[in-house]
Amino acid sequence: MEEYQAMYKASLEDPEKFWGDMAREFYWKTPFEKVGPTYNFDRTKGDVSIRWFEGGATNLSYNCLDRNVEQGFGSKTAIYYECNDLDDGHAAYSYSDVLRMVCKLANALKAEGVQKGDRLSVYLPMIVELPASMLACARIGAVHSVVFGGFSAESLAGRLQDAQSSLVITADAVMRGAKPVQLKAITDKACEIAAKDGFNVQRVVCVARLKDTPRAGQAQHGWVSGRDVWYSDFVAAQAEECECEWMDSEAPLFMLYTSGSTGKPKGVLHTTGGYMLGAFATTKYTFDYHPEDVYFCTADCGWITGHSYVTYGPMLNTATQVLFEGVPTHPDVDRFWKVCEKYKVSIFYTAPTAIRALMKSGDAPVTRNDLSSLRLLGTVGEPINPEAWRWYYRVVGGGHCAIADTYWQTETGSHLITPLVGAMDCKPGSAVLPFFGGPGGGGTVYGDHKRFEETYFSQFNGCYFTGDGCKRDKDGFYWLTGRMDDVINVSGHRIGTAEVESALVAHAKVAEAAVVGFPHDIKGEGIWCYVTLNEGEAYEDSLKADLKKQVREVIGAFAMPDEIHWAPGLPKTRSGKIMRRVLRKLALPDYETQDLGDTSTLADPSVVDVLKSYHPRKK
Ligand code: WTA
């Protein structure tokens, strides 16, 4: 604990030395002149900005790959790839293998005309080409925008357009559990939607994931000649070496879309030097990483966790990790534990929602596997309830593994609050103490710096606002209490209620919608939608399924509403503002006895009774 306190202090009081020494473990083509941070968080004093390692030039792909190979780790396994289906096998890729793959792809992208600063979209499943595509972009200075494979065509189209990304890397299709996900067909549709809006995707590079396998028949997609090319053909003629583009420390590395309380998802833009150190340091210290560890993070690279703790953090630490294509329940509910046993995983990092879901199947699926290699467990994405924490600790960790509950966000790029498990005792449900004060943190919203300033720097002058509520106990431990804005966290997926509302309103029969979160046993939060139909439309149960489908098509399956609650009227103030506080309470299991607070300012207080009379929970 004393060592943590000393390091924490040093990180804040002497960043030149603390972060400077750490940064010098990496290769800089041009050494930085100043560690920093040089920043302004006060909007009244000019543009909000933050700069780390000014004057330096480096490359993430170099530091994740070449540097490891040069230091003699070329034959060390970087990635164990575990397929969705047991009969589909597995593969191991060494650091040299990944470097060759990345160089070939980087050369192919250059041959295609992709230049430093261009944005490129990646819509892939969890196969090795996904981290490789990210690293190939980083190598040539192209900005990657990874779109989670669960997003719909419409969501993908919006992201392609916003990023002005004329090249997409995707796959024919992939099996997720027993079901195929038609990535190529969805990409085709996204390109059509974007084209209608005047944006043309020029090139679709398609990985043959199911083609030439026994499941080839599951992939159903078209082919646009001149635009589409198979990945293997795309890279075939390319050399296995590719010079890096040396990137200014503050040059953009990637953008990743995330939901806020208003409007369309924002492309959070991360830059090179600060992100690199943030991902490196947190992987090393939070997970107490040692060279002999086998690390397994179950997050998809489509989310920030997969960026920082699959692609970048582990490789910057020369780690050996498992990349898992499938789902925790296929072919059986013990798949995670089978994978842990098979690769002798020592560090395992997952989300509370997965723990809660697996907990339902009892202890046997866990304990029938040999998990003695596990040493450290991590969680991320949402608050973990003490009951799930204890089960994770006792059953998965066998009572001998520490748990790191890591609190952070897409915007921060790496852990903000997390225990350093060797140094401090944890309390179930608390993310404990701040990580060292240091680099990382998105520098802007792509194409909209004003929105960046307004979203994050307007609530508290001179401070960044995360959007989360929190308590601090007498020991200084932090307890995250959830979002304070209109963002909900469904199975660790961040969803803006406004996005779901606009998906619902896009339905021809819907006049208005208001969406709130409610506590859900497994998902953490569920999605509760109040829907007002157009004049003359009938409130029929059969329409509810349609509306759910609508949201699925506009956003993606993970945003499917749990409940549609007919609302012939919504509780509004006389100025027309929806009283969300009332709607949140009405979605609770004990809605009948909830104190709704002062409803006298409602334009029509009787709507509350009407909502109760239609209540979906009513027996
Ligand atoms: C929530 C995921 C409590 C929080 C890394 C945050 C958490 C949002 C935790 C970011 C945690 C994440 N305890 N809440 N350990 N981790 N959150 O951008 O509300 O997808 O603001 O990044 O998830 O979600 P995002």
pLDDT in tens, 293-327: 999 999 999 999 999 999 999 999 999 999 999 99
Per the domain annotation, does 244 fall within a domain?
yes
Q: How far is the CA of 415 from the centre of ligand 1 (A)?
A: 10
Protein residue closest via CA to atom 3 of ligand 1 = 383
Protein residue closest via CA to atom 4 of ligand 1 = 382
Q: In terms of domains, do 407 and 507 share one? A: no
Q: Which atom of ligand 1 is nearest to the CA of 405?
A: 15
pLDDT at 170: 98
What average pLDDT does range 2-19 have in this prediction? 96
In terms of DSSP bridges, do strands 90-94 and 468-472 run parallel, antiparallel, or are they unpaired?
unpaired
CA atoms within 13 A on the CB side of 507: 26
pLDDT at 40: 95
- Complex-level ipTM beyond the 0.95 threshold: yes
Taking the C-alpha atoms of residue 543 and residue 534, their distance in angstroms, rounded to an integer, is 13
Per the domain annotation, does 475 fall within a domain?
no
Protein residue closest via CA to atom 15 of ligand 1 = 407
Per the domain annotation, does 477 fall within a domain?
no
Taking the C-alpha atoms of residue 422 and residue 335, their distance in angstroms, rounded to an integer, is 28
With a Cβ cut-off of 6 Å, ligand 1 is lined by 258, 303-305, 380-383, 405-410, 431, 466-468, 480, 483, 489, 494
Angle value at C-alpha 394, between 389 and 397, nearest 5 degrees? 90
pLDDT for residue 480 is more than 90: yes
pLDDT at 175: 98
What average pLDDT does range 485-504 have in this prediction? 95
pLDDT at 593: 94
Q: In terms of domains, do 338 and 438 share one? A: yes
pLDDT at 422: 82
Q: pLDDT digit string (tens) for 318-347?
A: 999 999 999 999 999 999 999 999 999 999
Per the domain annotation, does 471 fall within a domain?
no
Residue to probe by mutation, ligand 1, list 148, 268, 353, 382, most atoms within 8 Å of CB:
382
pLDDT at 261: 82
Q: pLDDT digit string (tens) for 86-130?
A: 999 899 999 999 999 999 999 999 999 999 999 999 999 999 999
Per the domain annotation, does 320 fall within a domain?
yes
Q: How far is the CA of 256 from the centre of ligand 1 (A)?
A: 15
Q: How far is the CA of 349 from the centre of ligand 1 (A)?
A: 14
Tally of CB atoms within 10 A around 143: 22
Per the domain annotation, does 474 fall within a domain?
no
Taking the C-alpha atoms of residue 619 and residue 615, their distance in angstroms, rounded to an integer, is 9
What average pLDDT does range 175-183 have in this prediction? 98
Residue to probe by mutation, ligand 1, list 297, 494, 525, most atoms within 8 Å of CB:
494
pLDDT at 423: 87
Q: In terms of domains, do 82 and 160 share one? A: yes
Q: In terms of domains, do 523 and 427 share one? A: no
pLDDT for residue 441 is more than 90: no
pLDDT at 104: 98
Boundaries of domain holding 62: 1-466
In terms of DSSP bridges, do strands 174-176 and 179-181 run parallel, antiparallel, or are they unpaired?
antiparallel
pLDDT at 196: 98
Protein residue closest via CA to atom 22 of ligand 1 = 409
pLDDT for residue 619 is more than 80: no
Q: How far is the CA of 111 from the centre of ligand 1 (A)?
A: 39
pLDDT at 278: 98
What average pLDDT does range 15-28 have in this prediction? 98
Residue 510 maps to which CATH number?
3.30.300.30
Q: In terms of domains, do 217 and 339 share one? A: yes
Taking the C-alpha atoms of residue 384 and residue 382, their distance in angstroms, rounded to an integer, is 6
pLDDT for residue 440 is more than 90: no
Q: How far is the CA of 357 from the centre of ligand 1 (A)?
A: 18
Q: How many structural domains compose the chain?
A: 2
Q: Which of 466, 491, 506 represents a domain boundary (last residue)?
A: 466
Taking the C-alpha atoms of residue 569 and residue 592, their distance in angstroms, rounded to an integer, is 18
What average pLDDT does range 25-35 have in this prediction? 98
| Per-position DSSP letters for 363-410, written without gaps between them | SHHHHTS--TT--EEEEESSPPPHHHHHHIIIIISTT--EEEEEB--T
pLDDT at 506: 95
Protein residue closest via CA to atom 7 of ligand 1 = 382
CA neighbor of 184 nearest in space, from 211, 159, 161, 165: 211
State whether residue 447 is helix, strand or coil: coil
Q: In terms of domains, do 412 and 509 share one? A: no
pLDDT at 465: 95
Average pLDDT, the chain: 96
Q: pLDDT digit string (tens) for 201-248?
A: 999 999 999 999 999 999 999 999 999 999 999 999 999 999 999 999
Q: In terms of domains, do 515 and 432 share one? A: no
Q: Which of 466, 500, 531 represents a domain boundary (last residue)?
A: 466
- Which of the residues 485, 546, 595, 598 is marked catalytic? 485
Q: In terms of domains, do 123 and 257 share one? A: yes
Q: In terms of domains, do 460 and 492 share one? A: no
Q: Which of 437, 466, 495 represents a domain boundary (last residue)?
A: 466
pLDDT at 137: 98
CA dihedral of residues 237, 240, 245, 246 (deg, nearest 10): 180
Per the domain annotation, does 539 fall within a domain?
yes
Protein residue closest via CA to atom 23 of ligand 1 = 381
Residue to probe by mutation, ligand 1, list 268, 464, 480, most atoms within 8 Å of CB:
480
Asked if 527 contacts 561 with a C-beta cutoff of 8 angstroms, the reply is: yes
pLDDT at 599: 87
pLDDT at 618: 87
Q: How far is the CA of 570 from the centre of ligand 1 (A)?
A: 30
Q: In terms of domains, do 421 and 499 share one? A: no
Of the chain, the percentage scoring pLDDT greater than 90 comes to 95
Q: Which atom of ligand 1 is nearest to the CA of 494?
A: 20
Q: pLDDT digit string (tens) for 39-76?
A: 999 999 999 999 999 999 999 999 999 999 999 999 99
Q: In terms of domains, do 452 and 531 share one? A: no
Is 293 known to be catalytic? no
Asked if 285 contacts 420 with a C-beta cutoff of 8 angstroms, the reply is: yes
CA dihedral of residues 246, 251, 253, 255 (deg, nearest 10): -160
Per the domain annotation, does 167 fall within a domain?
yes
pLDDT at 446: 95
Q: In terms of domains, do 318 and 409 share one? A: yes
Q: pLDDT digit string (tens) for 247-301?
A: 999 999 999 999 988 778 999 999 999 999 999 999 999 999 999 999 999 999 9
Q: How far is the CA of 431 from the centre of ligand 1 (A)?
A: 11
pLDDT at 146: 98
pLDDT for residue 616 is more than 80: yes
Residue to probe by mutation, ligand 1, list 384, 488, 489, most atoms within 8 Å of CB:
489
Residue 126 maps to which CATH number?
3.40.50.12780
pLDDT at 99: 98
